[in-house]
Amino acid sequence: MAASGDPGRQWQEEVAAVVVVGSCMTDLVSLTSRLPKTGETIHGHKFFIGFGGKGANQCVQAARLGAKTSMVCKVGKDSFGNDYIENLKQNDISTEFAYQTQDAATGTASIIVNTEVKTLFNPAPAVADLDPRFYTLSDVFCCNETEAEILTGLKVHSLADATRAALLLKGKGCHVVIITLGAEGCVMLSKTEPMPKHIPTEKVKAVDTTGAGDSFVGALAFYLAYYPNLPLEEMLKRSNSIAAVSVQSAGTQSSYPYKKDLPLDLF
Ligand SMILES: Nc1ncnc2c1ncn2[C@@H]1O[C@H](COP(=O)(O)OP(=O)(O)OP(=O)(O)O)[C@@H](O)[C@H]1O
Ligand SMILES: *[C@@H]1O[C@H](CO)[C@@H](O)[C@H](O)[C@H]1NC(C)=O
């Protein structure tokens, strides 16, 4: 504490160096496998109440780094408000200007966190001793012939070879396997399509195939994110079509098409 008789020092120690004027919100967080449709009731697997609000979040972070802080806010005179004031105190934040009112309820945010995130893994450049968790943890495992060869130890030069490699990758724990085959399109297998299936692509006059693989993977990521209900086979047909456009002109990114230049039936 400041020595008595030294009011300047006492003032310096008590004044907040960071004063935040902003919101204190109580987050009501539900974890679910997906978001409900309008009017639908679904089961969640976890629920918790958290302290949030942009202003308070910033104040808590500054306080935890050692800043002397004060929060200027107003919450309701209700249980969420009481808990929030207590939370500020727990974080060593001054509540001198944190007010409570009878006239309004403490702000709440209903947050639904879905676990539906899909992961698409492209093992490029491939290593033979890839961490085995990559096979089991990725939803979609997509590689080219060279990568399939390195990962499986099999020669992959034909559709028949790729079929064998895809089955071997499935054996390593992959849920969905896609092996791209250049002008031959790709081969896929999945839980619902356990035998490898060839998805051919249209014959085009290839000018420069550099970056075709990345065009394909980028297109597939687009369909997984924006058209999650499209059958996988349809996503692959469309990704083939987009990558086929990219091989018909020179360069890598310079050959990647824009939505506006593609047929409407791809969207
Ligand atoms: N000659 C081609 N004609 C039509 N489509 C092609 C051709 N070459 C590649 N593609 C398309 O691009 C996809 C990826 O091609 P590929 O298997 O050659 O990938 P990659 O070897 O990773 O490519 P790169 O290393 O050149 O970027 C194929 O699945 C196919 O859809
Ligand atoms: C596959 O991708 C690798 C990069 O990981 C690249 O070096 C190789 O040339 C590609 N294979 C084919 C057949 O294009």
Nearby residues of 6 by Cβ (< 8 Å), 6 or more positions away: none
In Å, how far from its chain's centre is CA 225?
A: 10
Tokens describing residue 114: 């879905």
Give per-10-residue mean pLDDT for the chain (267 aa): 42 76 94 91 93 93 92 97 97 97 96 87 94 95 98 97 98 97 97 94 94 94 91 97 95 91 95
Q: Which ligand is in closest contact with the Cα of 178?
A: 1
Closest of 229, 192, 228, 38 to residue 117, by C-alpha: 228
Ligand 2, CB within 6 Å, residue ranges: 124-126, 144-147, 213
Atom 11 of ligand 2, nearest CA residue: 146
Predicted local confidence at residue 3, as pLDDT: 38
Closest of 140, 118, 139, 113 to residue 34, by C-alpha: 113
CA–centroid distance, 146 to ligand 2, in Å, is 5
CA–centroid distance, 261 to ligand 1, in Å, is 20
Atom 1 of ligand 1, nearest CA residue: 183
216 lines ligand 1 (CB under 6 A): yes
Closest of 192, 198, 197, 246 to residue 219, by C-alpha: 246
pTM as predicted: 0.73
